[in-house]
Amino acid sequence: MKAHSNTSLKPFHTFGLDVHAKEIIDAQSPEDFLAIWRDDRYKTLPKLIVGEGSNLLFCEDFKGLVVLNRLKGISVSETDTHWHLHVASGENWHELVRWTVEHNMPGLENLALIPGLVGSAPIQNIGAYGVELNDRCEYVDVLHLDSGDILRLSAKECAFGYRDSVFKQSLKHGHVIVAVGLQLEKAWEPVLGYGALSDLAAKPSVSAQAIFDKVCEIRRAKLPDPYVLGNAGSFFKNPVVAASLGNKIKAKYPAMPAYPAGDHQMKLAAGWLIEKAGLKGHKLGGAAVHEKQALVLINTGDASAQDVVQLAKHVVDTVYQSFGVELEHEVRFMGAEEETSLETVCQR
């Protein structure tokens, strides 16, 4: 356990905004988490667990304790059909994906270059290019901060949904993900249904390394490096709308990407809607809609939290006025003491 003398959060979240916490501490073991939560000095303070801060927007200074997840370790066992990985939640997600590909354990390659730590993956049920975390998750180990017990939840018990899980619902508070169990099939089949990977499907055989390299190439071409331009990746979820509304928009814009989502619903591409609404490159203060990928809001260098919030509201309002579709932010909004939302922040 290590306390930081500097309370600036700028190095600990990828938006790189100049906000502060009351105190910042590293947790290097489950016991560290318990010690922090039971320490009389911190009992009355709001607490926030942060990995790499790749999906966070601090809307203002945080008046509490930020605990940085620094749990490390990877172990592997195998059966005749699967590799089973037990991964500590503080491991970097992309480096894990790279490691599995290099060690000939394919299955995660479509999820390359997604920012953040392993412990964040089940919270968001991360997904990309036709694969979601729930497709590969076997279990999640969760530390109950009151009892000190570590509970193992099966993938089914995690209640995974689109960018959703039980960790955003009933287990949102009082629990810490300490490890994730992944199972990778030895009878591997490449997932190439996503349009950007379709050129690989035409080849007689394709390796996990080739998919990994292609995904990295695509993401680097479209998405800004947060160490150059502060951002939190995809800012908005792809909206799921009534099929009647989706078909109405598609009749006017036949080239609009749209996918069936069951129960007379349709999933639309938020980035396409934002771009078609004329917002690509739109700037407000030091914040802007990225010129190459409209789904990403960026800190051009001197953005304030308020700049990003106001830009996000402008994007939501403009897309609704243009298409009747209400976008929902994927990025977590953090207020002074607890998680909040765009709607709540803008009502103040």
Q: How far is CA 185 from the centre of its chain?
A: 24
Q: Is 189 a catalytic residue?
A: no
Kindly name the residue from 70, 98, 136, 163 that is annotated as catalytic: 163
Q: Is 330 a catalytic residue?
A: yes
Query: Residue 55 and residue 263: Cα distance in Å, rounded?
Result: 30
Query: Residue 21 and residue 229: Cα distance in Å, rounded?
Result: 22
User: Any idea how long the chain is?
Assistant: 348
- On whether the CB atoms of residues 116 and 93 are closer than 8 A, the answer is yes
Q: Which long-range contacts (CB under 8 A, 24 or more apart) does 98-103 make?
A: 98/212, 99/74, 100/184, 101/208, 101/209, 101/212
Kindly name the residue from 91, 109, 132, 330 that is annotated as catalytic: 330
What is the DSSP pairing of strand 74-78 with strand 82-88?
A: antiparallel
Query: Residue 209 and residue 97: Cα distance in Å, rounded?
Result: 10
Kindly name the residue from 136, 219, 234, 332 that is annotated as catalytic: 234
Give residues with Cβ within 8 angstroms of 246, minimum separation 6: 258, 265, 266, 268
Retrieve residue 6's tokens. Answer: 């500097």
Q: DSSP letter string over 21-65?
A: EEEEEEE-SHHHHHHHHH-TTTTTS-EEEESS-TTEEE-S-EEEE
Q: Is 38 a catalytic residue?
A: no
Query: Residue 266 and residue 239: Cα distance in Å, rounded?
Result: 8
Q: Where in the sequence numbering do the catalytic residues fall? A: 163, 234, 330
